[in-house]
Amino acid sequence: MAVKIIWQINHSCGHQAERNLSDRAADRRAGFAEWLAKQECSACWRASKQGDEQDKAAWLEAKRAEEQAESEAWSEQCRMPPLEGTERAIAWGVRCRHKLLAAVYTALVLEGETSEAEWEEIEEAARTITRAGWFIDQRSSEPGDLTELLQAATVADRPSENPHF
């Protein structure tokens, strides 16, 4: 008598399914059927996986919206100007500016030697930059580098690097 090919599986979710195990060697089918019985049926598995992904996407979106609201409140409180750029860049730039300046404040003022008066100058320099892309570009910079970066960005009439001028 040949080892059966069609196995009735009682899945862990309570559903039953017939599985064709002909692609398994005859002596492996019983073990595989046992393993299958410990799993959810494919419909339940797909449904729960989809649910997880939807949960994750919703969670990420909620988290981003929360960050956005925080960053916008902070910008207003610190009298930071509106940024310029595409809609997406503006939203992202506002979050980057908030994160960047908060990290710098912690590093320089709270944990460093920078006075509040010196900090106000840094804030003032940051207010002169309204290009969203600038803050996005600096998002991974070291807190200690910000003053230098701000200086580079705010130098007026920077001499041209083009030797023909």
**Footprint on this chain of Zn ion (rule: CB under 5 A):** 13, 15, 41, 44
Using CA atoms, how far apart are residues 94 and 86, in angstroms rounded to an integer?
12
Q: Closest distance between Zn ion and the C-beta of residue 36, in Å?
A: 12
Query: How far is 48 from 96, CA to CA, in rounded Å?
Result: 35
* Choice between 41 and 83, CB closer to Zn ion: 41
User: Nearest distance from residue 39's CB to Zn ion, in Å?
Assistant: 9
CB 19 to Zn ion: min, Å: 13
Q: Which is nearer to Zn ion, 41 or 129 (CB)?
A: 41
Q: Tell the smallest beta-carbon distance from residue 18 to Zn ion (Å).
A: 13
Cα dihedral 101, 78, 86, 84 sign: negative
Residues whose CB is less than 8 angstroms from the CB of residue 19 and which lie 6 or more positions away in sequence, other chains included: 6, 7, 9, 33, 36
Q: Decide whether 44 or 125 has the Cβ nearer to Zn ion.
A: 44
Tell me the C-alpha distance between 78 and 26, whole Å.
72
DSSP secondary-structure letter at 39?
A: S
Given the complex with Zn ion, which of 41 and 108 has the nearer CB atom? 41
Of 12 and 106, the one with the shorter C-beta distance to Zn ion is 12
Tell me how far, at minimum, the Cβ of 10 lies from Zn ion, in Å: 10
Question: Which amino acid is present at 20?
Answer: N
Location of structure tokens 């956005």: 68
